[in-house]
């Protein structure tokens, strides 16, 4: 189905009836300031809420759609006003195993709110601001990176053209038992303060093998945890988000730790 849009008229090459949007998110909840486009959370200073297996989850993503195609794809050979941006998929990439899963594969779904501007609720008009709600009960644990896959539609010389684009690199870890082995008596490991200013305490992880990883899954540091309240230093590392993988007695936990100056 191909679309050509503007604010006063919506021309649909395959016409479908309008629907009522029932999404819970508020498109104008986030202030993007003077930015021409943006995604919130941004994966750098703001993040999606933590998810956990078997625990109902909900969070929102907000998208400010630019007016011109070059603001999304700078190398586009022919700049043109954006007709629309269509969300085509939400993917989760396991930063450890490298597997790519569809949102539905982990028990999650997304519901878009475009304020009824288009028949398809996940079609967002150029120069406007919209949102989508992430909901579900996660069924798979892992150190995931979320990618929002979109198609950027513009009309060039009277023809609608679509350019695929991926908003990627957004941490979306789902906590829980990766291999199904449970130890009800064991306290869940945690890191605090988090974010830290360069040092944090790793609590209740004694006996674990700890692996500190970058967002792309690369191992940075590995050590054996010998204390129930172990001091961990981030000296020599750049501020940012890291994954801390803990493995002990068939149990694997992953913590997301943030380092700020």
**122 & 232 share domain:** no
Token pair of 100 as six digits: 């790519």
Answer whether residue 184 is part of any domain: no
Q: Which domain holds residue 228?
A: 190-259
Answer whether residue 238 is part of any domain: yes
**43 & 163 share domain:** yes
Query: Across-strand partners of 230?
Result: 202
The proportion of the chain whose per-residue pLDDT surpasses 70, expressed as a percent, equals 84
**196 & 104 share domain:** no
From 175, 200, 225, the end of a domain falls on 175
Categorize the per-residue pLDDT at 23 as very low, low, confident or very high, splitting at 50, 70 and 90.
very low
Answer whether residue 126 is part of any domain: yes
Answer whether residue 181 is part of any domain: no
Answer whether residue 183 is part of any domain: no
From 140, 175, 210, the end of a domain falls on 175
Q: How far apart are alpha carbons 253 and 83 in whole angstroms?
A: 44
**25 & 90 share domain:** yes
**204 & 113 share domain:** no
**123 & 161 share domain:** yes
**87 & 162 share domain:** yes
**147 & 196 share domain:** no
Whether residue 129 has pLDDT greater than 90:
yes
> How many structural domains is the chain composed of?
2
Most confident of 68-82, 83-97, 113-127: 113-127
Is the bond preceding residue 46 a cis peptide, omega within 30 degrees? no
Nearest CA among 125, 127, 106 for reference residue 115: 125
**33 & 135 share domain:** yes
Answer whether residue 180 is part of any domain: no
**107 & 199 share domain:** no
Q: What is the mean pLDDT of residues 49-61?
A: 90
Answer whether residue 217 is part of any domain: yes
* CATH code of the domain in which 235 resides: 2.60.40.3080
From 127, 149, 175, the end of a domain falls on 175
Give pLDDT tens digits for 201-244: 898 888 899 999 888 888 899 999 988 888 898 888 988 888 99
Give pLDDT tens digits for 56-78: 999 999 999 988 877 876 766 66
**116 & 34 share domain:** yes
Q: How far apart are alpha carbons 202 and 210 in whole angstroms?
A: 10
Place of tokens 């004694």: 206
Answer whether residue 185 is part of any domain: no
Nearest CA among 171, 168, 167 for reference residue 142: 171
Which pLDDT does position 187 carry in this prediction? Answer: 66
Categorize the per-residue pLDDT at 138 as very low, low, confident or very high, splitting at 50, 70 and 90.
very high
Half-sphere exposure of 4 (CA within 13 A, CB side): 10
pTM for the full predicted model: 0.62
**229 & 154 share domain:** no
* CATH code of the domain in which 161 resides: 2.70.50
Query: Across-strand partners of 81?
Result: 68
Q: What Å distances lie between residue 66 and 97, 126, 171, 191, CA to CA?
A: 34, 6, 24, 39
């Amino acid at each position: 189905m191909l679309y050509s849009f503007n604010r006063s008229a919506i021309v649909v090459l395959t016409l479908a009836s309008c629907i009522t949007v029932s999404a819970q998110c508020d498109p104008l909840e986030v202030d993007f300031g003077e930015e021409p486009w943006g995604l919130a959370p941004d994966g750098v200073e703001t993040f999606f809420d933590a998810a956990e297996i078997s625990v109902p989850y909900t969070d929102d993503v907000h998208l400010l759609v630019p007016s011109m195609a070059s603001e999304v794809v700078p190398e586009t050979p022919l700049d043109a006003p954006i007709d629309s941006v269509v969300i085509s998929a939400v993917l989760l990439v396991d930063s450890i195993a490298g597997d790519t899963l569809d949102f539905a594969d982990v028990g999650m779904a997304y519901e878009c709110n475009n304020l009824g501007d288009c028949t398809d609720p996940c079609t967002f008009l150029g120069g406007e601001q919209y949102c989508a709600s992430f909901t579900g009960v996660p069924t798979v644990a892992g150190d995931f990176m979320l990618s929002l896959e979109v198609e950027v539609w513009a009309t060039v010389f009277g023809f609608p053209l679509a350019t695929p684009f991926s908003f990627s690199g957004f941490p979306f870890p789902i906590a829980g038992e990766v291999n199904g082995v449970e130890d009800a008596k064991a306290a869940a490991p945690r890191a605090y303060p988090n974010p830290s200013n360069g040092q944090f305490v790793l609590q209740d992880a004694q006996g674990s093998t700890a692996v500190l990883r970058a967002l792309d899954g690369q191992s940075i540091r590995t050590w054996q945890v010998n204390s129930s309240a172990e001091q961990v230093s981030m000296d020599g590392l750049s501020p940012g988000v890291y994954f801390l993988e803990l493995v002990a007695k068939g149990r694997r936990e992953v913590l997301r730790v943030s380092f700020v100056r």
